[in-house]
Amino acid sequence: MNDQEQQTPEEQIGDAVQTPDEQAGDAVQTPEDLSVFRNAWELGAAARRKEELAERERQKKEAEAQYQAREEYARELAEEKVDLIRLKQGVISEEDMHFPEEEQKTYTVWQKIGNWFYHAKWWLGIAVFCVLVGGFIIYDYVTHVDPDTCVMVLTDNADLSLGAEQLCRWMEPFCEDYNEDEKILVQAAVVPVSKKNMEQGGNYAAAYNSQLLMQFQSATCMLVIADEGADPYLKPDEMFVDLTELYPECPYAEGCRLKLNGTNFLELAGISGELNPGCYLALRKAAENFNTLEENKEAQAHAKAVLDKIVPLLKDAQAGKEPDNGGTA
């Protein structure tokens, strides 16, 4: 008879019934394993308890030290108060009074430097700001170059506006060192004057109108390049000099305008593109405004000297063609 046959019915049923952990194939923890985990937890808990007790002891000692310091300070104040009362009553003299000696602290060099920066940070910040502003002003004064003459470009023509710098470089050989800074510089003030820009409303239109007004209220730009789109916002006959009287032999002079359409003006200036209809050069009249009349006359003379050298260079854009004073280039 085999072993299975020798087992009682109760033993056979016990072998057939398994726990869920045994059915899932998980290992059942033995009492030895549980004892190891419990010992580790107890050790960790004991260590944490020890740290808590040490921290409480430290805090207790710190509180006691602070309490002792306050008590000592209060005792010293009480003694000083009693001494002052006795001194006022004449019982003791100032030599008999006892003042506690303060402990002299020693600081390292870096601590002294850090302490100085901490107490002087506001004054140091103000000083740094003043130095930066002063340095910028001095740098701007030293490096700034005042123009010897300026030209005002009043057109929304993109070719002429973008080529304003090239136009100034072309005019510089015609100019002299009027401000005696050993540098010759011509600058341009570009205002895109047109009905669209000046009457569109909003911030841009306001800025353009303000800039146009400011330019005509100063003696900076006495030489003007404009077109028929800018005429409604100007008073050419009142603002500009009659160029027919200045250049009676010039076929492009017409009243206060020096017609540029149909001429080689852009070619001379080294600018590619075309001019707007009715483009012309003009010379402002000298009138007292933000500057004195003498300053305006001086600026006008400088601009006229440049214009005197430009006029002889103007020719027809195409050889053999009669001057076209009103057409496009």
**Looking at 29-33, 40-44, 50-54, which range is the least confident one?**
29-33
Whether 159 and 306 map to the same domain: the answer is yes
Whether 156 and 94 map to the same domain: the answer is no
Task: Quote the domain boundaries for residue 41.
Answer: 37-99
**Domain assignment present for 210:** yes
Question: 82 vs 10, which has greater pLDDT?
Answer: 82
279 touches 272 (CB < 8 A): no
Whether 278 and 159 map to the same domain: the answer is yes
Pairing of strands 257-259, 253-254: antiparallel
Question: 44 vs 328, which has greater pLDDT?
Answer: 44
DSSP state of 313: G
Collapse the DSSP code of 188 into the 3-class scheme (helix H, G, I; strand E, B; otherwise coil) and give the result.
strand
Which residues does residue 284 pair with via DSSP β-bridges, in sequence order? 240
**Domain assignment present for 296:** yes
**Looking at 26-30, 41-45, 269-273, 292-296, which range is the least confident one?**
26-30
Cα separation of 2 and 85, whole Å?
A: 114
Cα separation of 263 and 269, whole Å?
A: 12
Residue 281: per-residue pLDDT: 92
- Whether 230 shows a pLDDT value over 80: the answer reads yes
Q: What average pLDDT does this structure show over 129-149?
A: 82
Starting at the edge strand that comes first in sequence, how are the strands of the sheet with 149-154 ordered?
186-191, 149-154, 221-226, 280-283, 257-259, 253-254
282: confidence class by pLDDT, cuts 50, 70, 90: very high
Whether 292 and 173 map to the same domain: the answer is yes
Which residue type is seen at 205? A
Tokens describing residue 81:
């108060």
Whether 89 and 152 map to the same domain: the answer is no
Cα separation of 100 and 86, whole Å?
A: 18
**Domain assignment present for 28:** no
Whether 79 and 153 map to the same domain: the answer is no
Which 3-state string (H, E, C) describes 233-298?
HCCHHHHECCHHHHCCCCCCEECCEEECCCECHHHHHCCCCCCCCCCEEEEECCCCCCCCHHHHHH
Whether 92 and 157 map to the same domain: the answer is no
**Domain assignment present for 218:** yes
Residue 318: per-residue pLDDT: 67
171 burial via Cβ count (<10 Å: 0-12, 13-18, 19+): buried
- Whether 200 shows a pLDDT value over 60: the answer reads yes
Whether 71 and 171 map to the same domain: the answer is no
**Domain assignment present for 255:** yes
Residue 283: per-residue pLDDT: 92
Whether 93 and 154 map to the same domain: the answer is no
Whether 177 and 277 map to the same domain: the answer is yes
**Chain segment 22-36, per-residue pLDDT in tens:** 444 444 555 666 677
Q: What's the mean per-residue pLDDT of the chain?
A: 80
**Domain assignment present for 264:** yes
Which residues does residue 240 pair with via DSSP β-bridges, in sequence order? 284
Q: pTM (2 decimals)?
A: 0.55
Which residue type is seen at 68? Q
Q: What average pLDDT does this structure show over 164-174?
A: 91
Whether 151 and 94 map to the same domain: the answer is no
Collapse the DSSP code of 114 into the 3-class scheme (helix H, G, I; strand E, B; otherwise coil) and give the result.
helix
Give me the CATH number covering residue 186.
Answer: 3.40.190
**Chain segment 105-121, per-residue pLDDT in tens:** 777 888 888 888 888 88
Residue 147: per-residue pLDDT: 84
**How many independent structural domains does the chain possess?**
2
- Whether 170 shows a pLDDT value over 90: the answer reads yes
Whether 169 and 289 map to the same domain: the answer is yes
**Domain assignment present for 44:** yes
